[in-house]
């Protein structure tokens, strides 16, 4: 065996020759050629523990012989591995049976049933009937907060939860106790889990010890409406799979994207379903609070706009988009602006958010933009004006991974409130100026800029090799900034300050009440019950991100497609007072009127008569149409020659 660098061990697994990098385990080597070896404790993000013993393989020939745990054994030259050997199969089958000795008989009332790794392997291992007649060990469960349900009787002691919680996510309030068959995973005292990444315990547990309490007893895996999606709750664009059933968003699980969120997502992205299921959501087009059909509402809107133009002049109307508006609608806003000859086009409301996004599109390019994957690989990280846990919790997790590998973390002192730094899952050094950080000495330095005022000072620190990451205001802030710069748009705050804005057409935007003083006409397109929707004269309901296909450009300039998960409409639960679904047939779901924002904008444009058959994402944005939601996304610089 040679230890020289670049040496690639060659081994044979099930008669297939495999060549892998040094240090790769036999289990990973097998996976690289499509041979799946069962495993519980091994996880690609957490590595090995050797706790479950279910990945047994037979080493037929080579430096090691006999039954071995493939997750613990680095691939070595000359190994001949059999995963289908009788002895190995018997071992795996018996391990499954041992693991099942104490596992309760409660799959029908377990939310993991149907998506349970233990269930799958038990069935696959042929362990259909229990032959052990002894009694099972039981545990007392703990209250772990409103999001996570604890059921320790189901535990198979794989240590995944505690390895994730303590090692990967840096949580301190959850751990492992006891010994032997009495091992207990929990807190010292019951109480809410403190880590902002605790929801990942649900994903990572191979069985049903941790289940999503918010979706408790609601549906089964095979009944979910699921599609690849992107989290809209911050600018990082973590990949998710929302799961819906009966027109209700039940839960969200993480989707792997190594360049963005890796295997995990934060609790904010996971447990914020209520906005979609909110009973107060605008469901019908409203004109002065009266429910009307789409045609009437759109006709009325144009009539009002014309009347408004006659009184105040069309230039006193502002069209306002936002950083949470998907690219499809955002690209159409300019055409609407031109179509009705409005006075102002705004993609941002407040100056601060716009400045920061402008800085991002100015300083970032394909070489300088740091993805979260890059952050994890960095050896020096400078945090400038960051409130990581508020504006991008997954970035904090990425920084922790770099820190675990030995990266130095510097925090530039600033006016972000000091309590924001509490609970950051890594250690850092405080410096007063960015220039105090020895950036030039690092091989892979990354500067992460938050939403404070100090980030204008970043520019001098930029030298070759330094990567930058920004935490922006919304899931599509980057795209909105590109459009804003391209169309020379202002912010709403500026437009209002100039005094000429008398009417607002708000497209999925939250506008603070102080900007609404002196506005005589408001029309709002939104799917959230925001203050401006309540104040609007005309409300046009749009679909939430899980109810449509769309595109967001995240903080690093990565365009990602999300797919429609569910149909818009009132959840079936609660439609009929008798408790069951209505006993009459309808062709359309009640409350299913919301349309994607781009479609509503396109309808308005078509009604102005300036354009026909309006399609989103035309011109320089056309490449976004062919984006694959299953792919890791594409950075804009790879697809657009000239980004303005």
Partner 1 sequence: MSVINDTKAIVIGMWTTWKHIFRRPVTLQYPEEKRIPYPRYRARIVLTRDPDGGERCVACYLCSAACPVDCISMQSAATEEGRRYALWFRINFSRCIFCGLCAEACPTMAIQMTPDFEICNRDIMNLVYEKEDLLIDGCGKSPEYNFYHHAGIGVTQRRGAGLEEKPPVDVRSLMP
Measure the CA–CA gap between 532 and 380, rounded to whole angstroms: 43
CB of 438 to partner 1, least distance (A): 47
CB of 135 to partner 1, least distance (A): 5
Measure the CA–CA gap between 22 and 360, rounded to whole angstroms: 39
- The three state secondary structure string of 270-300 is HCCCHHHHCCCCCCCCEECCEECCHHHHHHH
CB of 244 to partner 1, least distance (A): 14
Residue 153 binding partner 1, by CB under 8 A: yes
For CA atoms 19, 24, 30, 33, the dihedral sign is negative
Q: Which of 77, 194, 223, 457 binds partner 1 (CB under 8 A)?
A: 223
For partner 1, which is the closer residue by CB, 87 or 106?
A: 106
For partner 1, which is the closer residue by CB, 153 or 272?
A: 153
Residue 107 binding partner 1, by CB under 8 A: yes
CB of 563 to partner 1, least distance (A): 24
Q: Which of 62, 104, 175, 423 binds partner 1 (CB under 8 A)?
A: 104
CB of 120 to partner 1, least distance (A): 15
CB of 140 to partner 1, least distance (A): 5
Choose the stretch contacting partner 1; rule: CB under 8 A; options: 174-182, 428-436, 454-462, 513-521: 174-182
Q: Which of 62, 74, 113, 589 binds partner 1 (CB under 8 A)?
A: 113
CB of 70 to partner 1, least distance (A): 31
| Rg of the chain, C-alpha, whole Å | 27
For CA atoms 557, 563, 567, 570, the dihedral sign is negative
For partner 1, which is the closer residue by CB, 310 or 578?
A: 578
Choose the stretch contacting partner 1; rule: CB under 8 A; options: 44-52, 102-110, 305-313, 392-400: 102-110
For partner 1, which is the closer residue by CB, 82 or 102?
A: 102
For CA atoms 206, 209, 214, 220, the dihedral sign is positive
Contact (Cβ atoms closer than 8 angstroms) between residue 74 and residue 25: yes
CB of 554 to partner 1, least distance (A): 36
Contact (Cβ atoms closer than 8 angstroms) between residue 148 and residue 135: no
For partner 1, which is the closer residue by CB, 7 or 217?
A: 217
CB of 306 to partner 1, least distance (A): 48
Total residues in contact with partner 1, by rule CB under 8 A: 43
Residue 637 binding partner 1, by CB under 8 A: no
Q: Which of 14, 67, 76, 137 binds partner 1 (CB under 8 A)?
A: 137
Contact (Cβ atoms closer than 8 angstroms) between residue 591 and residue 284: yes
- From residue 240 to residue 269, what is the string marking binding to partner 1 with x (rule CB under 8 A)? ------x-----------------------
Nearest CA-CA partner of 489 in 637, 603, 323: 323
Q: Which of 108, 128, 406, 577 binds partner 1 (CB under 8 A)?
A: 108
Measure the CA–CA gap between 89 and 426, rounded to whole angstroms: 42
Measure the CA–CA gap between 213 and 198, rounded to whole angstroms: 12
Write the burial class of residue 338 (CB in 10 Å: 0-12 exposed, 13-18 middle, 19+ buried). middle
* Count of all residues that appear for the chain in the document: 644
CB of 274 to partner 1, least distance (A): 18
Choose the stretch contacting partner 1; rule: CB under 8 A; options: 129-137, 228-236, 362-370, 596-604: 129-137
Choose the stretch contacting partner 1; rule: CB under 8 A; options: 79-87, 106-114, 444-452, 600-608: 106-114
Choose the stretch contacting partner 1; rule: CB under 8 A; options: 138-146, 191-199, 419-427, 608-616: 138-146
Range 177-206, binding partner 1 (CB under 8 A): 177-180, 182, 184, 186
CB of 151 to partner 1, least distance (A): 6
End-to-end alpha-carbon separation of the chain, Å?
A: 55
CA distances, 30 to each of 62, 349, 518, 581 (Å): 16, 53, 68, 48
Measure the CA–CA gap between 610 and 128, rounded to whole angstroms: 67
For partner 1, which is the closer residue by CB, 145 or 314?
A: 145
Measure the CA–CA gap between 292 and 303, rounded to whole angstroms: 15
Choose the stretch contacting partner 1; rule: CB under 8 A; options: 68-76, 130-138, 460-468, 549-557: 130-138
For partner 1, which is the closer residue by CB, 112 or 526?
A: 112
For partner 1, which is the closer residue by CB, 11 or 99?
A: 99
Measure the CA–CA gap between 222 and 454, rounded to whole angstroms: 49
Residue 138 binding partner 1, by CB under 8 A: yes
Report helix, strand or coil for 96.
Answer: helix
Residue 163 binding partner 1, by CB under 8 A: no
| Helical axes 294-312 vs 597-608, angle rounded to 10° | 60
Measure the CA–CA gap between 317 and 208, rounded to whole angstroms: 55
Range 562-601, binding partner 1 (CB under 8 A): 572-573, 578-581, 583
Cβ neighbours for 172, distance < 8 A, ≥ 6 positions apart = 166, 194
CB of 101 to partner 1, least distance (A): 11
For partner 1, which is the closer residue by CB, 567 or 607?
A: 567
CB of 572 to partner 1, least distance (A): 8
Report helix, strand or coil for 541.
Answer: strand
Contact (Cβ atoms closer than 8 angstroms) between residue 603 and residue 593: no
Q: Which of 218, 312, 363, 500 binds partner 1 (CB under 8 A)?
A: 218
CB of 537 to partner 1, least distance (A): 38
Contact (Cβ atoms closer than 8 angstroms) between residue 363 and residue 449: no
CA distances, 300 to each of 267, 277, 303, 448, 537 (Å): 42, 28, 5, 47, 10
Choose the stretch contacting partner 1; rule: CB under 8 A; options: 220-228, 415-423, 483-491, 500-508: 220-228
Residues paired with 66 in a beta bridge: 59
- Chain position carrying tokens 């806003």: 333
Phi-psi region of 434 (alpha: psi -120 to 50; beta: other; left: phi over 0): alpha
CB of 12 to partner 1, least distance (A): 41
For partner 1, which is the closer residue by CB, 499 or 577?
A: 577
For partner 1, which is the closer residue by CB, 74 or 145?
A: 145
Measure the CA–CA gap between 227 and 145, rounded to whole angstroms: 28
CB of 92 to partner 1, least distance (A): 24
Backbone phi, psi, residue 376, to 5°: -65, -30
Contacts to partner 1 by CB under 8 A: 103-109, 113-114, 133-141, 151, 153-154, 177-180, 182, 184, 186, 216-220, 222-223, 246, 572-573, 578-581, 583
């Amino acid at each position: 065996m040679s230890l020289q660098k670049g040496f690639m061990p060659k081994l044979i697994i099930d008669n297939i020759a495999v060549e892998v990098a040094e240090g790769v385990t036999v289990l990973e080597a097998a996976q690289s050629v499509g041979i799946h070896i069962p495993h519980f404790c091994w996880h690609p993000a957490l590595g090995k523990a050797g706790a479950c013993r279910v990945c047994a393989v037979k080493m037929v020939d080579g430096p090691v012989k006999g039954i071995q745990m493939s997750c613990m054994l680095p691939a070595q030259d000359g190994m001949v591995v059999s995963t289908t050997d009788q002895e190995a199969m018997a071992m795996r089958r018996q391990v499954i049976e041992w693991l099942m000795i104490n596992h309760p008989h409660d799959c029908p009332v377990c939310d993991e049933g149907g998506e349970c790794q233990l269930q799958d392997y038990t069935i696959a291992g042929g362990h259909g009937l229990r032959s052990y007649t002894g009694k099972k060990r039981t545990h007392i469960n703990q209250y772990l907060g409103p999001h996570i349900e604890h059921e320790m009787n189901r535990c198979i002691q794989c240590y995944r939860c505690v390895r994730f919680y303590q090692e990967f996510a840096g949580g301190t309030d959850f751990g492992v106790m006891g010994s032997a068959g009495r091992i207990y995973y929990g807190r010292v005292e019951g109480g809410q889990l403190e880590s902002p990444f605790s929801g990942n315990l649900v994903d990572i547990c191979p069985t049903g010890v941790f289940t999503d309490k918010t979706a408790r007893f609601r549906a089964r895996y095979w009944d979910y409406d699921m599609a690849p999606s992107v989290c809209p709750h911050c600018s990082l664009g973590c990949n998710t799979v929302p799961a819906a059933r009966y027109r209700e968003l039940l839960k969200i699980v993480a989707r792997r994207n190594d360049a963005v969120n890796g295997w995990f997502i934060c609790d904010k992205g996971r447990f914020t379903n209520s906005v979609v299921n909110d009973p107060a959501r605008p469901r019908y087009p409203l004109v002065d609070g009266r429910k009307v059909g789409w045609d009437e509402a759109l006709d009325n809107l144009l009539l009002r706009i014309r009347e408004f133009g006659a009184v105040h002049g069309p230039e006193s109307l502002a069209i306002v988009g936002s950083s949470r508006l998907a690219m499809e609608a955002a690209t159409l806003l300019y055409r609407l602006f031109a179509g009705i000859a409005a006075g102002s086009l705004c993609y941002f409301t407040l100056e601060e958010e716009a400045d920061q996004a402008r800085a991002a599109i100015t300083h970032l390019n394909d070489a300088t933009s740091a993805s979260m994957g890059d952050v994890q690989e960095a050896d020096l990280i400078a945090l400038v004006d960051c409130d990581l846990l508020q504006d991008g919790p997954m970035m904090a997790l990425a920084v922790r991974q770099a820190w675990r590998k030995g990266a130095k973390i510097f925090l530039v002192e600033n006016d972000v409130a000091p309590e924001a730094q509490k609970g950051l899952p890594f250690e850092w050094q405080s410096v007063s100026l960015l220039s105090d950080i020895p950036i030039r000495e690092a091989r892979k330095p990354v500067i992460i800029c938050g939403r404070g005022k100090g980030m204008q000072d970043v520019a001098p620190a930029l030298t070759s090799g330094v990567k930058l990451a920004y935490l922006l205001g919304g899931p599509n802030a980057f795209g909105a900034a590109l459009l804003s710069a391209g169309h020379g748009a202002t912010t709403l705050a500026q437009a209002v300050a100039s005094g000429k804005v008398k009417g607002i057409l708000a497209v999925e935007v939250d506008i603070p009440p102080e900007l609404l003083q002196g506005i005589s006409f408001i029309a709002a397109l939104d799917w959230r019950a925001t203050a401006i929707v309540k104040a609007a004269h005309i409300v046009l309901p749009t679909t939430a991100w899980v109810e449509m296909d769309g595109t967001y450009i995240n903080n690093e300039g990565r365009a990602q497609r999300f797919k429609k998960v569910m149909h818009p409409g009132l959840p079936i639960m609660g439609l009929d007072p008798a408790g069951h679904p209505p006993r009459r047939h309808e062709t359309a779901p009640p409350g299913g009127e919301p349309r994607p924002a781009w479609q509503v904008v396109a309808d308005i444009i078509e009604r102005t008569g300036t354009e026909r058959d309006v399609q989103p994402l035309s011109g320089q944005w056309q490449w976004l149409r062919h984006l694959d939601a299953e792919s890791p996304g594409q950075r804009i610089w790879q697809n657009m020659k000239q980004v303005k």
